[in-house]
Structure 1
Amino acid sequence: MVEEITQVPDGHSYSKLVGRARVKRQSDGFSASRAAYGNIPPPVDAFNVIYLSFVLGGMGFLLPYNSFIMAMDYFKMRYPLTPVVFDMSLVYIVVALLTVLTNNLLVETFSLNSRINFGYIMSFVTLIFVVVCEVWWEAWGTATSYTVNLAAVAVVSVGCTVQQSSFYGYTSMLPPKYTQAVMVGESTSGVFTSIVRVITKFIVNELRGSTVYFFTVSVSTVLTCFAMYHLIRRSDFIQFYIALCERGKTRITLEPTEDAGLIETNDTQYGILKIQTSPPPTGNQLSFANPAYEPSAPVPTYKVEDVVVRGRHTVTTSSVGLSALKRGIQARWEVTKATYPYMISICLVYFATLCIYPGVASEVVSCTLGSWMPILMMALFNASDLIGKMIASGARYWTGTRLVKGSIMRLILIPLMIMCVAPRHSPRFSAEITAFLYSVMLGLSNGILGSVPMIQAPTKVDDRHRELTGNMMTLMYMFGLAAGSLVAYSIENALGPIEDHPCSPVRVLVYPSVSASSLDGLFMPGSTTSTRFLSTLISTTTPNLGTIIDAANVTETSLL
C-alpha cells in the first residue's frame, strides 16, 4: 500500500493510504496510485512545456562534450598528428565513469537540485574558460594547451555526468515519456552542435574565429537550459509526481506484539487502521488477518484512509551506519534483479557506439570532401540518432530479451566501419556513401536500442526505487562508454597513422609530395627531428604556408 507520512503535534505520524487491493497496473508502467494523489487528479502538461524543458535538459548536459567533439577541425589543425579526438573521448568517458560511481553512492546524500545545479555551473564556467583563454586568447604553447584542453574536458565530464545521472533519476519519477524526452535532448544536442558548427564554418572563413563563435553559442545554450530547468522545477506537475515517489519510500512495520485492526465507521467507504498491542480485534472491528477483508468477500470492503503510527518514522534516507549500507545494497540488488536485461542491453549498445564513434568515424578520409568529411559523418550520426530516439517513444515491440539480442547483433557495425578506414593507404570501403550509410545505421540503432532500456527499466521496479534505477542504468551506460572508448584506442593503434592515406588532410597540409613513410614518427610532441624537418621544409619549399614551430610540437595557424 502507498502512504503519505506527516507529523502531528503529539509526535505520532499520520498517513494517508490507498489499499493495495484497489491498485491496478496501467499500460504506462505506473500504478493506479499515480493516477491520483488522494482525490486530486494529476496536473496536465499544458502545451508539452514540461516535455520540452526536459528535451532542453538533455541538450544541456551533453552539449559541452559535443562542442569539443564538433570542433575537431580546429583541434586537429592546432594539434596535427595527435589522437586528439581519441584523447578527448577517453578522458571524458573515464572521468564520467568515476563520477557516476561516486554519484551513485551519494545519490541519497545530496539533493537532486543541488546535484543538477553543480553540473550546470561546472559546465558553464569551463566552457567560458576554454573559449576565452584557449581558443580566443591562445594563452599557452601547444604542448601546455593540449594538456589544458584535456583537463577542461575532464572538468566538463564531472559536471555533465552529475547532471546526466541526476536527470535520469529525476525523470524516472515521472511518466516514461519524460525519460524519452531527455534522450531526445541528448540527440538534439548533437544535431544542434553539428548545425551550429556548419553555419559558423560557412559564415567565418578563419578557423579560429569560427570556433570562437561556435563555443559562444554553446555557452549561451547551456545558460538557457539552466534557466529553463529552474522555471519548471517548482511546477505543480513536477511536484505532484515527486511527492508520489517520496511517499512510495515509506513503510508501516508492525512489531510482533502489534495488530492492525480496521475499525468500521459511519462512513460506508472509509475505515481507520489502528496500531495496537492488544489481541486481534473482535466485534465490529475487522482485522487484516481476517479472510473477510479480501475484496472478493461478500461482506462490505473498506478503503483505508487514516493511519496512526506510534513511536517511529518510516523513512530511511537519514539513517547512517551499517544498517543504512545494508539497505542500500539490498535496494540495488532488487533493482538489478528486476532490470538486468536492460542493464546488459544499454551497456552493449554504448560499447559498440564508442568503439567507432567519434574516433574511427572522424578518421574516414575523403579525397572529394576533405575536412568536411568528419563533420558530415558526425552530423549524419547525430541526426539519425535523434530519429531513432523519437521512434523509440512509441516502441511496444521491445522486451528485455529482444533488446539484448538486438544489441549483440549491432556489434557487426564495428568491423564494417573499420573497413571504411583500413588499411590506411587503401580502405576496403572507399566510397563516401558507404561510410555515410554505416554512420546512419549506427545512429539509428543507437537511438532506438539506447533509449528503450532507459525508458522501460524504471517501470519494472517499485516507485520508491525509481530514482535509484535511473542512476544505476546511467552507471551501466557509462560502463559501456568506458569499455568502448578503450577498445577504440586499440583500434586506432592497430590502424596506423592516418597520413598513410594519399588524401589525408594532415599529409596534404604539410607537403603533398612527401611520402607517407617519411612522415612516420616525425610529429610526436617533443620531437626535435620533426621540428628540424618541417623548419627546413617550410623555409625552402612552401613559402606560402604560414606556421609556428613550437619546441614541443608543430602548429599550423593559417593558410595564406
Structure 2
Amino acid sequence: MGLIQRLLRREEPEQSYAPLEGGSERPDGERIEDLEQRAYSRTDYYVFLLLGVAMLWAWNMFLAAAPYFQRRFDSDERLLRNFQSAELAVSTAGSLGSMIVLTKLQANASYPKRITSSLILNIAVFTLLAISTRAFLDVSAGAYFAFLMLVVFSASLATALCQNGVFAYVASFGREEYTQGIMTGQGIAGVLPCIAQIVSVLSVPPKQTQEGAPQESSKSAFIYFLTATVISALTLVAFVYLLSKPRSREQLSPTLDDEEVDPGHRPVTRKSIPMMRLLGKLHWLAGAVFLTFAITMFYPVFTQKILSVRDPATSSRLFQPAVFIPLGFLFWNIGDLIGRVIPGIPGLTLTARPRLLFTLAVGRLAFIPVYLLCNIGGKGAVIGSDFFYLFILQVLFGISNGYIGSNCMMGFVEWVDPEEREAAGGFMSLCLVAGLTAGSFLSFFAASA
C-alpha cells in the first residue's frame, strides 16, 4: 500500500486532466469513481463538523463568559474596562503570529499531530478555567488577569494549530462535503457557547451581593467551562477514531511525515506568487475582508457592556446581565450564521462585484455609533428597546459580517489565474486575520466609551 501511495504521489503532479468518466482506474485497477463514492462517509462528515465546532469554541467561549470575568475584575476599574479588548488583542495577535510560524513550517508538518495537539491543549485550558472558578477565588484581580491572558494566548495557539491542521488534512480526502462540514461547525461554534452560558446561568440560583443585585455564580461558570472541556474531549475521541480507520490512512498520504515519504521522490515545487501581484488583482476583495473583520471586532466590546433597558431588580433573569450579555452574543452569532448561509443561495452572491463588497464593508462603520444609542453600562439608552438592540442591531451586524466575509472568501478564485489560487487563498486568509488583529487593538477606543 505504501508503494502504491508513493506511485500516486509521483504521477499526481503530471495529471492536469480530469479522470475519464466511467473508465478511470488507479494503478491497482480500482475504478476511481467507485473509490470516491465509497470514500465518503457520513460518520467522517460529523467528525469534521465536530472539528469545526472545536476550532472556534474557545474564541466564542471567552466572549460569552464576559459576565463572569466582569465579576472577577469588579475590584479594579481599569481591568474591568479593558479586559475584553485585552482578550481580543492577545487572542488575535497570538493566532496571527502562530499562523505565520506554522505556515513557514509546512515542509515537515504532520497535520494530524497538530490537530491532536490543539485538542489536548484546549482540554487543558478549559480544565484550568473550570478549576479557577472553584479555587484561588481570593487572588487579586491583577493576578487573575495575568492568568486569563495566559490561557487566552494558549487557546489562540490551539486555534491556530487546529485551523492549520484541519484544512490541510481535509484537503487530502478530496471531498467538498467535509470542508462544508467544517464551515458549518464553525458557524455552530458561534451559537452553542452562548446557549451553554445562558443555560448554565439559569440552571443555578442567582448569587446576591450586599446591595441585592444578582451576580453570576461561580458554579454556573464552572459548568460552562466544563462543557467546553467535554466538547474538546469528545472531538479528540472522534478524531482518533477517524485516524484509526484504514481508509483514512490511505487518504492521509499527502500529509505524512518526511520519514514516511520515498527519499528518492522530490516534492513538488510551486512557483512563488508575489504578494503585490495578488494585491493588484484582489485589492477590492482583500480590502473588503480586512475592513469587515476589523469593524466586527468592535461588537464584543460593546456587547459585554450593554445591559437591558429593564430594571434588573424587578425583571426576570433573562434580562439580568449574567444572561442578557451572552444573549446579545447569541443574537449576533445567529445573524452571522444566517449571513454565511445566504451566499449559498443562487442569485444572492456578490462574488462578481468586488467594488460593491468593498463599499458594503465600509458602510458597516455605521453600526458602531448605533451602539452608543443603547444602554451602555446601565447609563440609559437613547433608543430604549431591547428588541431594537437584539433583533435589529445585533442580528443585522452579524448578517453583514457573515455575508460580506463569505462572499470575499468564496469569490477571490474568480479574479486570479488557476496557478495563483492556492497562494491567493493564503493571501486572503492573511488579510482576514490581519483585520481581526487590527480591529482588536482599535477596540480599546470603544472600551472607554
Asked if these proteins are the same fold (TM beyond 0.5), I'd say yes
Q: Report how many aligned residue pairs link the two structures.
A: 403
Deviations 1:122-178 (A, max 9, x none): 21111111211x111126333211211111111111111221233234445644454
Question: Structure 1 stretch 339-348 or stretch 362-371: which is displaced more?
Answer: 339-348
Greater share of strand residues, 1 or 2? 1
Opposite residue 37 of structure 2, the aligned amino acid is: P
Alpha-carbon distance in 2 for matches of 1:221, 1:329: 39
- 2-side partners of 1:337 and 1:54: how far apart? 35
1:197 matched to 2:197: yes
Compute the displacement of 1:119 (Å). Answer: 1.5
Q: In structure 2, what is the equivalent of residue 488 of structure 1?
A: 443
Q: Where does residue 307 of structure 1 map in the other structure?
A: none
Matching residue within 63, 70, 73 for 1:76: 70
CA distance in 1, matches of 2:10, 2:161: 35
Residue 44 (structure 2) aligns with: 50
* Gap change, CA 1:109 and 1:190, over 3 Å in 2: same
Instruction: Identify if the C-alpha distance between structure 1 residues 14 and 77 changes in structure 2 by more than 3 Å, giving closer, same or farther.
Output: closer
How many angstroms does 1:73 deviate by? Answer: 1.1
Q: 1:438: how far off?
A: 1.0
| Distance of aligned partners of 1:375 and 1:6 in 2 relative to their CA distance in 1, 3 Å threshold | closer
C-alpha distance in structure 2 between counterparts of 1:486 and 1:68, whole Å: 17
Partner of 1:360: 302
The alpha-carbon deviation at position 481 of structure 1 amounts to 0.6
What amino acid is the match of 1:480?
G
Deviation, 1:208, is: 0.4
Q: Distance in 2 between matches of 1:470 and 1:169?
A: 12
1:37/1:240 contact within 8 Å kept: no
Distance in 2 (alpha carbons) for counterparts of 1:399 and 1:177: 21
Distance 1:220 1:417, change over 3 A: same
Are 2:160 and 1:150 equivalent residues in the alignment? no
Do structure 1's residue 40 and structure 2's residue 32 form an aligned pair? yes
TM-score, normalised via structure 1 length: 0.63
In the alignment, what sits opposite 1:377?
Answer: 328
Corresponding residue SS for 1:440: helix
% same residue: 18
CA spacing shift, 1:395–1:166, aligned 2, 3 Å = farther
Cα distance in 1 for partners of 2:350, 2:250 equals 29
1:386 aligns with one of 321, 330, 337: 337
5 Å-filtered alignment, 1:229-248, equals: 229-233=239-243
Q: Secondary structure at the match of 1:363?
A: coil
**CA distance in 2 between partners of 1:410 and 1:176 (Å):** 31
Kindly state the Cα deviation for residue 237 of structure 1 after the two structures are TM-superposed. Answer: 7.4
- Aligned-pair CA distance for 1:48: 3.5
The reply on whether 1:415 has 2:369 as its aligned counterpart is yes
Q: Distance in 2 between matches of 1:314 and 1:62?
A: 36
Report deviation, 1:483: 1.0
Unaligned runs of 5+ in 2: 208-216, 257-262, 311-318
1:101 corresponds to which residue? Answer: 100
Q: Does the alignment pair 1:159 with 2:158?
A: yes
Structure 1 residues 382 and 476: alpha-carbon distance in aligned structure 2, compared to 1, 3 A threshold: same
Match of 1:91 in 2: 90
Matched, 1:138 2:136: yes
Q: Larger % of helix: which?
A: 2
Q: Deviations over 1:218-244 (max 9, x none)?
A: 100011122222333466876777668
- Residue 455 of structure 1: CA displacement? 4.4
Distance 1:17 1:97 in 2: 31
Q: 1:373 to 1:360 in 2, by over 3 A?
A: same
**Paired letter, 2:301:** G
Q: Distance in 2 between matches of 1:32 and 1:399?
A: 30
Match of 1:66 in 2: 60
Q: SS in structure 2 opposite 1:138?
A: coil
The verdict on how the C-alpha distance between 1:112 and 1:201 changes in structure 2, with shifts beyond 3 A counting, is: same
Question: 1:127–1:215: 8 Å Cα contact kept in structure 2?
Answer: yes
CA RMSD of aligned residues (A): 3.8
For residue 420 of structure 1, report the CA deviation from its aligned partner: 2.8
The residue number in structure 2 matching 1:226 is 236
Q: CA deviation at 1:485?
A: 1.0
Structure index of larger Rg? 1
Residues 169/392 of structure 1: CA separation in 2 closer, same or farther (3 Å cut): farther
Work out whether residues 187 and 386 of structure 1, in 8 Å CA contact, stay in contact via their aligned partners in 2: yes
Task: Check if 1:209 corresponds to 2:208.
Answer: no
Q: Distance in 2 between matches of 1:92 and 1:384?
A: 23
Aligned residue in 1 for 2:182: 182
Aligned-partner SS, 1:420: coil
User: Does the Cα contact within 8 Å between 1:128 and 1:219 map onto a contact in 2?
Assistant: yes
1:210 positional shift: 0.7
In structure 2, what is the Cα distance between the partners aligned to 1:166 and 1:341? 29
Change (3 A) 1:107 1:417: farther
Residue type of the alignment partner of 2:240: H
Gaps in structure 1 of 5+ consecutive residues: 25-30, 247-310, 318-326, 496-560
